[in-house]
């Protein structure tokens, strides 16, 4: 229909094609289209069939490859490494439409068919595997995905500006092999050509053979992911040197506004209708992204390594314009599901110092307590929400992508807090305290539980004042590195005291690119090199998980085993604090057994052990 004889780029993705700005493929392809390039998209190709990769022929400039919106291994397997039965990014939600380690599989097939065509990889799977990394599913350290895939260049982070530069240089006739200097990219070069600048981290060989070296490499890699003060990072892989150039600066407000103004269809491709559509669109179709980046930087989250910690935002006008477009969609019911991002209530950098010097190395803005330089202000965000509520056809505007409650508490003006509860909460507000143990929260890089307790008290007080009955749903994580059985019991007691009965608990999932995954694999904190306890045995994990849902009768046997293992017999019985209730007859029988087991014979007399 477009009258094309060929395309400039072929974009291969492990997801179904959804033309919505919550999908990376959609953004990058629309950006390239706006710059005058012709992009053909191959969605979820049959990786065993060469013809599936030939549908557009050989592209003029090269192939772009991604596994999709999420890591293909996370898409396929649970934290317990069990195969998932569905896939939200596939038509009809069916699993099995993409291979494990999709980026590697796709690249090898492309290089087999078109060996001289440039291949550029990007997206979450490639970005988080840019260095030698621990692979949870194979339980081994693997080299950079650039080595395993055979791709020519890797784009990490959000990718718009580096993709534009790569396209322009290819269009000007430059060989991809000479593109070793583009910000926000990684490449492989001969070790003899290694630049003198930058910082070198332990080699693939060293990190594969030494957990201490792995921890050291992790700290270097995380510390240099700042677009202002970050340095080039080098890591040797045999006779090749992996180069990570400094990060590409985040998009400015003007650039973000332009990206989100492009002509997205805001839906999945109509060819998927007969299969029941693509489930992944449901949560985002009527949602708006207003920011990028997250200075919260929790240790178990890969956002800091992928998007970065620096906050950039769209203008009020851009966000409201998108809201008006949503109201014009045929199936809009009057509800905007979210105005958020990585963290919904971040609308500015955490302090002004970082505008010139970047974010502090090795420190967190909010944990274990908020930095003295932190600026917490919700005025602009609140102004956007108020204006959105006034748009014709809009009944309600919700916030679902996550409120950083500790940041909210630092804002002395409580107007946003009140309006969040009154206007932007749909019956329940989800927040993420994750745990209650101070030591575990320190390993997580989260604030201590006192912040959550204070927030919850104020939240319920506001609800009472305005006459609403709304709930607070805490996200909780079991078996995070540093969490012992005693810590899990502490959390179980906290939940009981606070009358919290979590329906879902997330087991820690070791994915590439996080501090927590490094601790899981090495048993070391990369910032102190001190030992960290890690529950790796599946049964030990099951005990911790059961404790967090001790109210569930199905977990009674596991909870009892955990309490006995921790010698917490005081929590088994009918007392108010007890996590396991027993009948009177059971209690009497236990007491009788305890007495009998305590007796010993001594010259024919009965005595008791102390």
Whether pLDDT at 585 is above 80: no
pLDDT > 50? residue 485: yes
Judging by beta carbons within 10 Å of its beta carbon (0-12, 13-18, 19+), is residue 171 exposed, middle or buried? middle
For the stretch 217-230, pLDDT in tens is 999 999 999 999 99
Confirm whether 9-244 and 427-564 share one CATH topology: no
The upper half-sphere exposure of residue 223, i.e. CA atoms within 13 Å in the direction of its Cβ, equals 16
Mean pLDDT, residues 528-532 taken together: 98
What is the average pLDDT across 59-88?
96
Mean pLDDT for the stretch of residues 412-433: 96
Rounded to 5°, the CA angle 284-306-168 comes to 90
Q: pLDDT tens across 100-158, in order?
A: 999 999 999 999 999 999 999 999 999 999 999 999 999 999 999 999 999 999 999 99
Residue with tokens 């930058």: 198
Each residue's pLDDT tens digit, 283-334: 899 999 999 999 999 999 999 999 999 999 999 999 999 999 999 999 999 9
What is residue 527's predicted lDDT score, i.e. its pLDDT? 96
DSSP3 helix / strand / coil % (the chain, rounded to 5): 40, 15, 45
Length of the chain: 610
pLDDT of residue 581: 87
Q: Hey, how many other C-beta atoms are within 10 angstroms of the C-beta on 133?
A: 25
Q: Is the pLDDT of residue 598 over 80?
A: no
pLDDT at 237 over 90: yes
Place of tokens 């390993």: 443
| 427-564 under CATH 3.30.750.200, yes or no | yes
Which pair of structure tokens corresponds to residue 444? 């997580």
**591 pLDDT more than 90:** no
- Token pair in block for residue 593: 């057994």
CATH (residue range 286-426): 3.30.750.210
pLDDT of residue 402: 86
Q: How confident is the model at residue 604 (pLDDT cuts 50, 70, 90)?
A: very low
Residue 560 has pLDDT above 90, yes or no: yes
CB 120 within 8 A of CB 37: no
pLDDT of residue 248: 97
Burial class for 478, CB neighbours closer than 10 Å (0-12, 13-18, 19+): buried
70-84, 258-272, 591-605: the lowest-pLDDT one? 591-605
pLDDT digits (tens, 9 = 90+) for 159-182: 999 999 999 999 999 999 999 999
Q: Taking a C-beta distance cutoff of 8 angstroms, is the pair 78, 28 a contact?
A: no
Q: Which residue in 480, 157, 76 sits closest to 300, CA to CA?
A: 480
φ/ψ region of 159 (left if φ > 0, alpha if ψ in -120 to 50, else beta) reads left
Max Cα–Cα distance, the chain, nearest Å:
105
Query: What local confidence, expressed as pLDDT, does residue 607 receive?
Result: 38
Tens of pLDDT, residue by residue over 354-375, are: 999 999 999 999 999 999 999 9
Minimum mean pLDDT range among 186-195, 206-215, 283-292, 572-581: 572-581
Q: How confident is the model at residue 583 (pLDDT cuts 50, 70, 90)?
A: low
User: CA-CA distance, 527 to 481, in Å (whole number)?
Assistant: 14
What are the beta bridge partners of residue 255? none
Q: Please provide the CATH number assigned to the domain covering 9-244.
A: 3.40.50.280
State whether residue 464 is helix, strand or coil.
helix
Burial class (CB within 10 angstroms; exposed 0-12, middle 13-18, buried 19+) of 372: exposed
Residue 602 has pLDDT above 60, yes or no: no
* Residue 467: predicted pLDDT: 96
**For residue 160, what are the CA distances in angstroms to 18, 35, 156, 258, 585?**
18, 11, 10, 11, 68
Residue 452 sits at φ, ψ, to 5 deg, of -65, -40
Residues linked to residue 596 through DSSP beta bridges, in sequence order: none
Domain regions of the chain by residue span: 9-244, 286-426, 427-564
């Amino acid at each position: 229909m477009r009258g094309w004889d060929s395309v400039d780029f072929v974009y291969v993705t492990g997801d179904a094609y959804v033309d919505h700005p919550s999908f990376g493929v959609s953004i990058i392809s629309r950006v390239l289209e706006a710059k005058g390039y012709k992009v053909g998209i191959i969605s979820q190709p049959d990786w065993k069939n060469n013809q599936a990769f030939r549908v557009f022929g050989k592209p003029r400039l090269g192939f772009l490859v991604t596994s999709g919106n999420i890591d293909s291994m996370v898409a396929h397997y649970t934290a317990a490494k069990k195969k998932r039965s569905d896939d939200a990014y596939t038509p009809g939600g069916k699993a099995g439409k993409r291979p494990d380690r999709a980026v590697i599989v796709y690249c090898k097939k492309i290089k087999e068919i078109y060996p001289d065509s440039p291949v550029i990889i990007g997206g979450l799977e490639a970005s988080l595997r840019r260095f030698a990394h621990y692979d949870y599913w194979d339980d081994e350290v693997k080299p950079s995905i650039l080595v395993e895939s055979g791709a020519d260049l890797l784009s990490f982070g959000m990718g718009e500006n580096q993709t534009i530069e790569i396209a322009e240089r290819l269009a000007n006739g430059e060989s991809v092999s000479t593109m070793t200097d583009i910000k926000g990219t990684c490449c492989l070069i001969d070790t003899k050509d290694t630049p003198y600048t930058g910082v070198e981290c332990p080699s693939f060989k060293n990190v594969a053979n030494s957990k201490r070296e792995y921890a050291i490499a992790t700290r270097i890699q995380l510390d240099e992911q700042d677009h202002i003060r970050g340095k080039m990072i080098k890591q040797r892989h045999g006779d090749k040197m992996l180069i990570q150039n400094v990060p590409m600066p985040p998009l400015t407000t003007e650039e973000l506004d332009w990206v989100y103004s492009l002509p997205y269809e805001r839906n999945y491709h109509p060819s998927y209708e007969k299969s029941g559509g693509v489930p992944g669109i449901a949560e985002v179709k009527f949602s708006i992204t207003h920011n990028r980046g997250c200075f919260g930087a929790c240790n178990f989250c890969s956002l800091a390594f992928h998007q970065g910690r620096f906050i950039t935002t769209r203008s009020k006008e851009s966000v409201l314009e998108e809201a008006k477009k949503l109201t014009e969609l045929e199936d809009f019911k009057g509800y905007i599901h979210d105005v958020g991002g990585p963290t919904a209530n971040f609308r500015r950098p955490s302090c002004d110092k970082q505008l010139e010097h970047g974010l502090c190395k090795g420190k967190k803005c909010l944990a274990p307590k908020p930095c003295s330089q932190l600026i917490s202000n919700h005025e602009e965000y609140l102004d956007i929400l108020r204006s959105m509520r006034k748009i014709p056809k809009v009944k309600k505007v919700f916030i679902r992508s996550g409120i950083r409650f500790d940041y909210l508490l630092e804002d002395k003006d409580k107007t946003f807090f009140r309006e969040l509860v009154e206007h932007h909460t749909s019956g329940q507000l989800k927040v993420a305290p994750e745990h209650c143990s101070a030591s575990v929260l320190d390993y997580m890089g989260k604030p201590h539980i006192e912040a959550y307790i204070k927030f919850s008290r104020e939240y319920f007080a506001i609800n009472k004042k305005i006459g609403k009955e709304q709930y607070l749903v805490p996200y909780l994580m079991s078996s995070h590195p540093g969490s012992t059985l005693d810590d899990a019991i502490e959390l179980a007691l906290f939940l009981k005291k606070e009358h919290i009965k979590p329906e879902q608990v997330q087991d820690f999932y070791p994915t590439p690119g996080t501090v927590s995954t490094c601790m899981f694999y090495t048993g070391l904190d990369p910032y102190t090199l001190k030992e960290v306890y890690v529950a790796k045995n599946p049964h030990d994990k099951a005990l911790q998980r059961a404790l967090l849902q001790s109210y569930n009768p199905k977990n009674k046997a596991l909870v009892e085993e955990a309490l006995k293992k921790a010698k917490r017999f005081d929590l088994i019985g009918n007392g108010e604090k007890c996590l396991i209730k027993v009948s009177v007859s059971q209690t009497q029988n236990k007491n009788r057994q305890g007495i009998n087991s305590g007796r010993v014979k001594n010259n024919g007399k009965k005595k008791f052990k102390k």
